[in-house]
Amino acid sequence: MTDRVPPDLQAQGITKRFGPLVALKDVNFRLRSGQFHALLGENGAGKSTLVKCIMGYYHPDEGQILLDQQHVTIRSPRDAQAFGIGMVYQQFTLISNMTVLENLVISRAKLNPIINWQQEEAHLIQFMEKMPFKVSLSARVSSLAAGEKQKVEILKQLALQNRILILDEPTSVLTPQEADEMLGHLRAMTLAQQLSVLIITHKLREVAAFADEVTVLRKGQFVGSGKVSELKVSQMAEMMVGSEITAKPKQRTPRSTSVPKLVLQDIRIKDDLGVEVVRGVHLTIHEGEIVGVAGVSGNGQRELVEVLGGQRPATAGTIRVQDHLYQPTRKKIVRHKMVCLPEEPLQNTCVGHMTVAENLAFRNFDSAPHAMGGWLISRPALRRSAYGLIERYNIKPPYPDTPIRSLSGGNVQRAVLARELSADVEILIVANPCFGLDFLAMEEIRQQIVAVRNRGTAVLLVSEDLDEILELADRTVVMFNGQLVYETTSPAADLAVIGRHMTGHMA
């Protein structure tokens, strides 16, 4: 690594249009040399568009980028790298079937025709000695935890001698400890003037703890910036959302009974590679209770939800619903009123090219009034029901005949909720329901989940967002390496203890 100080980066008057949509309007932004800067905003506020303009993915319609007060033209990410600007994406761009060493080598612009692996390895070991964290070079990326992959992504950018590092939601897949560790290292490097850092985030806690300065975008416009030390968290939140935050505490009715509704006994599940990823899960969920399953992704939660939703067979164990053995057949789903909202609903419970009306009727298209005699389907009846649900659940745009994949993420989630929750529900399984949604949609969906609970439904909430679990759950369990390793009732939940269990470091 050279000893140059990182350049001063400025974006002036950036405007970017996509057809009629104005994604960014006259946005100004400055990242001073050696600064740790946070770019705050909701989903769709234009944060990603702004950094993509800086990285050369998009070309702004108006405005200019300055490096050390010099006008520069960045046409592609390759150009950006030549100027010393690198980006770590939300979705990892590592190649999972290759080793860390191979990934670091391939990212270089120029490769020797024949690669001398010994020399490359020696070179990178030398480089890593100067770095605050280390990763095994011979490890296959697919075997690394999310936090380790993030470190490789960062090392990759630093090995390319980039002095400005842009990170898009870097902590969304990390445990609180991993996040703090990673941000702490970056913070130290900025303090040593080795690096300027720009993180895109909506986690105010991290901004308050690590950033020097913050810039807030809302609906594609610059709404403010300032020194973190001079701003209160509530002020930043207000700039982000536009008004006083309306996150009212959810109205919870206290539970009176403790009737077990869903009982899982010794559930064991193998994944696609034949590895046992759920290794004996025991869990009871009662009437009117939300049980939150916390954990870093990849510890068996996805497979558990797939089994409960009928998308994967369990290799052992029993599922009992109100003392009846449960199998996810269509008949039993109807009888026991058990519904599942898996993550990424568009892929997992919708057929993208079918219409909203058709998707809304997946549960009841073959019964009256939608079908005569169970086989002849009446399209007018489907559309009538769809109009009713669209109005009740505020699905936009309100047209039953549009293909569901053309809806935004929040509206797809609303449509799935409408389908699953409009009838009586005894048991609700829900996984990462707010992933990628904006603040308002998120609030609305959380309200719905609590409302269902208050009506006496047993809810299993699997989420990677610890804040979401702490907000919603009556009881929290932690899943690690295919087992439930910790249980706590939420008011007493201690973030640090939960975090330690999530990474397998028992207290």
Partner 1 sequence: MDIGWWGVVIAVLGGAIRIGTPFLFVSLGECLTEKSGRINLGLEGTLVMGAMTGYAVSLHSGSPWLGVVCAGLAGMVLGALHSWLCSFQRVNDIAVGIAMMLFGTGLAFFLGKPYIQPSAPRLPSIDLGAWSDIPQLKAALQINALFLIGIIVAIALGWMLKNTAWGLKVRVVGESSDAARALGLPVDRIRIMSTAQGGFLAGIGGSYLSLYYPFNWSEGLSSGQGLMAVALVIFARWQPMACLWVSLLWGGAAALGPSLQSVGITGGYYIFNAIPYIMTLAVMIITCSPRRTLVGVPHELTVTR
Q: Which residues bind partner 1 (CB under 8 A)?
A: 76-78, 89, 91, 93-98, 102, 105-107, 109, 111-115, 117, 272-274, 312
Q: In this complex, which beta carbon is closest to partner 1, that of residue 107 or of residue 448?
A: 107
CB of 285 to partner 1, least distance (A): 27
Q: With CA atoms as reference, report the closest residue to 175 among 466, 388, 492.
A: 466
Angle at 243 between CA 242 and CA 247, to 5 degrees: 110
Q: Which residue has the tokens 């707010």?
A: 434
Least separation in angstroms between residue 380's CB and partner 1 is: 34
Three-class secondary structure assignment of 395-452: CCCCCCCCEHHHCCHHHHHHHHHHHHHCCCCCEEEEECCCCCCCHHHHHHHHHHHHHH
Please state the closest distance from residue 276 (CB atom) to partner 1, in A. Answer: 14
Shortest spacing between CB 103 and partner 1, in angstroms = 9
Is residue 256 within 8 Å of residue 458, measured between CB atoms? no
Phi-psi category of residue 310: left, alpha or beta, with phi > 0 → left and psi -120 to 50 → alpha: left
Of 105, 108, 110, 161, nearest in space to 138 by CA: 105
CB of 37 to partner 1, least distance (A): 23
CA atoms lying within 13 Å on the CB side of residue 337:
14
- Give yes or no for a contact between 69 and 462, defined as CB atoms under 8 angstroms apart: no
To partner 1, the closest distance from the beta carbon of 113 in angstroms equals: 5
Q: Mark 52-83 as b/e (b = at least 16 C-beta within 10 Å).
A: bbbbbbbebeebebebeeeebebeeeeebbeb
Contact 237, 245 (CB under 8 A): yes
User: How many Å separate Cα 39 from the centre of its chain?
Assistant: 17
Amino acid symbol at 252: R
Residue among 113 and 373 whose Cβ is closer to partner 1: 113
Cα(217)–Cα(89) distance, rounded to whole angstroms? 19
Task: Please identify, using beta-carbon distances, which residue of 103 and 457 lies nearer to partner 1.
Answer: 103
Q: State the nearest-atom distance from the C-beta of 96 to partner 1, in Å.
A: 7
Please, what is the minimum distance in Å from the beta carbon of residue 304 to partner 1?
A: 16
Nearest Cα to 457, choosing from 485, 423, 482?
Answer: 423
d(CA 255, CA 241): 33
Start-to-end Cα distance in the chain:
39
> How many other C-beta atoms lie within 10 A of the C-beta of residue 110?
4
Instruction: Specify the residue, 98 or 371, whose C-beta has the smaller distance to partner 1.
Output: 98
Tokens encoding 137: 């070079």
CB of 79 to partner 1, least distance (A): 10
- What residues pair up with 215 in beta bridges, in sequence order? 39, 225
Work out how close the CB of 67 gets to partner 1 at its nearest, in angstroms, rounded to a whole number. Answer: 20
CB nearer to partner 1: pick between 236 and 314: 314
Longest dimension (CA), the chain: 78
Work out how close the CB of 270 gets to partner 1 at its nearest, in angstroms, rounded to a whole number. 8
Distance of alpha carbon 132 from its chain centroid, rounded?
27
